[in-house]
Amino acid sequence: MNQYILLPLLGFAAVSIVMIIIWLWAKKINNAGIVDIFWAYNFPVIAVIYYWLGEGFDLRKLMVLVMVFVWGARLGTYLFVRVLGHIHEEDGRYKQLRIDWAPNVNLKFFIFFQMQALSNVVLSIPFLFACVNPSPELSILEKGAAILWLVSITGEAVADRQLQVFKKNPANKGKVCDVGLWNYSRHPNYFFEWMIWVSYFLFACASPYGWLSIICPVSILYLLFKVTGIPMTEEQAIRSKGEAYKKYQQTTSAFVPWFKKNKS
């Protein structure tokens, strides 16, 4: 069977099973927030499958495996620590979904978890194209994309760490994080997350049909601005922090870390 078909099918089978197990766990503990953790962890699962079964250039496949594994493991572990820190208190976004999806909450969450698995496979298109590319040399574009990935994952890790330290300080309870990168953007972690997907797209562009993976950074940007990213996060922030967060919205960029806006 054609690798462009076989590998994604195997990838979906693997992460679909993972999400069924996680749905059962989420149902038991009444906390759907754990889906975020395994959405991130599923990408390394797919990358391993593409690495072992892809017929492309070994060094290129190894670079893909390392980039995806480091990114997915870092993000997943960060979310693991955050979510399990309040495992009996579900994230406000998912609490709202329980209200919106009543009375068929469990069924709709099952479908939601499977759609997350499907999104894992769709968003893994750049990895697929790179792992079946037989060209025995790395292009300048691939090298540049790897550098962009390194800068982006570092920026995301710094933003996550700054938020984590801020929240750990008891004196900041109920306050809005506006330190470090968060002083210039309300969502620097989302910005660098998107840049990581841009780097994956650019890396894939050096492979046949790689340009088709433009769907990945475009989809991530849409999700961040229109679906589960910025809208739901800011709605929850306003519910929990009220006027303090509204004032923060007026003085910071929504996405790209930039100069602090004039408060007047």
Task: Confirm if 41 and 68 have CB atoms less than 8 A apart.
Answer: no
- Return the sign of the alpha-carbon dihedral for residues 40, 165, 92, 191: negative
Domains in the chain: boundaries: 1-137, 138-264
Q: Which residues pair with 185 in a beta bridge?
A: 253
Q: Measure the CA–CA gap between 264 and 244, rounded to whole angstroms.
A: 16
Nearest Cα residue to 199 out of 220, 183, 227: 220
Any residues with CB less than 8 A from the CB of 208 and at least 6 apart, and which? Answer: 129, 133
Structure pTM? 0.90
User: What whole-number distance in Å separates Cα of residue 62 and Cα of residue 159?
Assistant: 27
| Residue closest to 192 by CA, chosen among 141, 166, 229, 244 | 229
Burial 218-246 (b: 16+ CB within 10 A, else e): ebbbebbeeeebbebbbebbeeeeeeebe
Closest CA to 123 of 242, 221, 29, 30: 221
pLDDT digits (tens, 9 = 90+) for 86-118: 888 888 788 888 999 988 999 999 999 999 999
The model's pLDDT over 129-141, given as tens digits with 9 standing for 90+, comes to 999 999 999 999 9
Is residue 140 within 8 A of residue 130, CB to CB? The reply is no
Per-residue pLDDT of the chain (264 residues; tens, 9 = 90+): 699 999 999 999 999 999 999 999 999 999 999 999 999 999 999 999 999 999 999 999 999 999 999 999 999 998 999 888 888 888 878 888 899 998 899 999 999 999 999 999 999 999 999 999 999 999 999 999 999 999 999 999 999 999 999 999 999 988 999 999 999 999 999 999 999 999 999 999 999 999 999 999 999 999 899 887 888 889 888 988 898 899 998 889 889 988 766 544
